[in-house]
Amino acid sequence: ARRAHFGFGMKIVFFNRSPVDDEETRAMSAVQMQTLEGVLAASDFVSLHCPGGAENRHLIDARSLRLMKDSAFLINTARGDVVDQDALIGALQRREIAGAGLDVFAEEPAVPEALKQLENVVLLPHLGSATEETRVAMGMKVVENLTAFFEGRPVPDRVA
């Protein structure tokens, strides 16, 4: 959101199940919409950032895609099961949305041939963390957390 707003001057609208009111969203004048449907209808670019699994399976389905502008792009870097892939392929083939950018797929690592044939989709492998710098930083996080734990200090990246 920061890059989109400060780098490209985009107006940021978003949906979150819980209210968000923090310094970062205020700095971008970001608007929290009441519904996902509202975000889909208002947006030129819809970028998904949520966990996969049963709760979000097919969060974006045929009905959701029909709510989007025909000039809009869907970007999924979240999880493959968040988008109904067959519905997306159909929407792209019929030009119901302008395009999509995907680095996750329903049956990874397989990419459906129908997606590969489309000219209005960009496909990439889900390799965002596969750089030497990122992997070293991840390893150092492990060391920091273990050191804190065994020294009786609060663990910096505690999950639960």
- Six-digit token string for 104: 């996750």
- How many separate domains does the chain show? 2
Same domain, 73 and 84: yes
User: Which stretch of 84-88, 102-106, 131-135 has the lowest confidence by average pLDDT?
Assistant: 131-135
Helix (H, G, I), strand (E, B) or coil at 36: helix
Tell me the C-alpha distance between 43 and 102, whole Å.
Answer: 17
**144 belongs to a structural domain:** yes
**9 belongs to a structural domain:** no
Q: Which residues are catalytic?
A: 79, 108, 126
Query: What average pLDDT does the chain have?
Result: 93
Tell me the C-alpha distance between 127 and 120, whole Å.
Answer: 21
Residues 151, 159: contact at Cβ < 8 Å?
Answer: no
Same domain, 38 and 71: yes
Mean pLDDT of 46-63: 95
**103 belongs to a structural domain:** yes
116-127 burial, b at 16+ Cβ within 10 Å, e below that, comes to: eebeebeeeebe
Same domain, 45 and 117: yes
Same domain, 84 and 134: no
Banded pLDDT at 21 (limits 50, 70, 90): confident
Same domain, 101 and 136: no
Same domain, 118 and 133: no
Residue by residue, DSSP assigns 89-153 as HHHHHTTSSSEEEES--TTTT---HHHHH-SSEEE--S-TT-SHHHHHHHHHHHHHHHHHHHTTS
pTM reported for the whole predicted model: 0.79
Any idea what DSSP says for residue 83? B
Same domain, 118 and 159: no
Same domain, 138 and 59: no
Same domain, 87 and 111: yes
Same domain, 101 and 56: yes
Banded pLDDT at 128 (limits 50, 70, 90): low
- Residue 93 maps to which CATH number? 3.40.50.720
Residues 50, 28: contact at Cβ < 8 Å?
Answer: no
Banded pLDDT at 160 (limits 50, 70, 90): low
Domain coverage including residue 106 = 33-127
Same domain, 61 and 121: yes
**4 belongs to a structural domain:** no
Same domain, 150 and 82: no
Is the pLDDT at 135 greater than 90, yes or no? Answer: no
Residues 120, 142: contact at Cβ < 8 Å?
Answer: no
**23 belongs to a structural domain:** no
